[in-house]
Amino acid sequence: MIEVNKLNKYFGDNHVLKDIDFHVEESEVVVLIGASGSGKSTMLRCLNFLEMKNSGEIFIKGNEVNPKKDNVNEVRQKVGMVFQHFNLFPHKTVLGNVMEAPTQVKGLSKSQAKKEGKELLEKVGLAEKANDYPSRLSGGQKQRVAIARALAMKPEIMLFDEPTSALDPELVGEVLQTMKDLAKEGMTMVVVTHEMGFAREVADRVVYMHEGKIVETGAPKEIFENPKEERTQAFLSSIL
């Protein structure tokens, strides 16, 4: 589904991603872990072309994406992204937020977007909030709207960058549950998170990044119970 070969990214002199080789299979859930500054967000942003790589290849569904040649907006439609801060449109209702991109970007009719939007809100458990404004929602509800909004573009892959980090602890579970449901339906997902319980339960693979490199990758059980690399061990003992 995604294949990355020898990806390099610099911010000025700062070499942030160093020869990254990375792949995600269809319906796979990959959890990306690593210390602050190790390059996790940059990696996701490169996959979504919010950041442009300096070198390397990125294939999405077997096609190499070259942002200079290809229409990046089209590619972005295939790759949904959910951030720590949800950035909902405050002046639009919940349903309005979910309908925005399909009508504005894809040219879907309002009635069709409404129908699909309502189905998505149902799916994330917020059907009854369709006509409320975001300011009336809890953080967990806002994040579920953000997930529905990303799904409205019918992405083939969903990227999550610390989707629960900004939430009060009691609201984390409902967002993780929504993500679990998506995983169960077979959505291909790359998730940056500090929720190791989620990683153990839902991830097919855990990828540990350190200073811009992938140091270790394996099944959650292997990584958490029997990490091979010293740096992985040190990182895990610092957070678990």
DSSP the chain: -EEEEEEEEEETTEEEEEEEEEEE-TT-EEEEEE-TTSSHHHHHHHHTTSS--SEEEEEETTEE--TTTS-HHHHHHHEEEE-SS----TTS-HHHHHHHHHHHTS---HHHHHHHHHHHHHHTT-GGGTTS-GGGS-HHHHHHHHHHHHHTT--SEEEEESTTTTS-HHHHHHHHHHHHHHHHTT-EEEEE-S-HHHHHHH-SEEEEEETTEEEEEE-HHHHHHS--SHHHHHHHHHH-
Rounded to the nearest whole angstrom, what is the least distance from the CB of residue 166 to Mg ion in the complex?
A: 12
Beta strand 205-210 pairing with 29-34? parallel
Site for Mg ion in 30-89 (CB under 5 A): 41
CB-nearer residue toward Mg ion: 41 or 188: 41
Contact residue for ligand ATP among 6, 14, 71, 87 (CB under 6 A):
14
Give whichever of 50 and 127 is closer to Mg ion, judged by the CB atom: 50
Strands 79-82 and 157-161: parallel
Instruction: Closer to ligand ATP by CB, 39 or 80: give it.
Output: 39
> What does 102 bind: Mg ion, ligand ATP, none (CB cut-off 5 to 8 Å by kind)?
none
How many residues bind Mg ion (CB under 5 A)? The answer is: 1
Interface size with ligand ATP, residues (CB under 6 A): 11
Quick one: 116 or 235, whose CB is closer to ligand ATP?
235
Asked whether 82 and 147 are in contact (CB, 8 A), the reply is: yes
Beta carbon nearer to ligand ATP, 81 or 121: 81
CB of 38 to ligand ATP, least distance (A): 4
Least separation in angstroms between CB 187 and Mg ion: 21
Q: Is 193 in the site for Mg ion (CB under 5 A)?
A: no
CB 185 within 8 A of CB 8: no
Q: Which one of Mg ion, ligand ATP, none interacts with residue 39, CB within 5 to 8 A by kind?
A: ligand ATP
Q: How far is the CB of 15 from ligand ATP (least distance, A)?
A: 9
Binding mask 31-70 for ligand ATP (x = CB under 6 A): ---x-xxxxxxx----------------------------
Residues at the interface with ligand ATP (CB under 6 A): 11, 14, 16, 34, 36-42
Task: Give the footprint of Mg ion on this chain (CB under 5 A).
Answer: 41
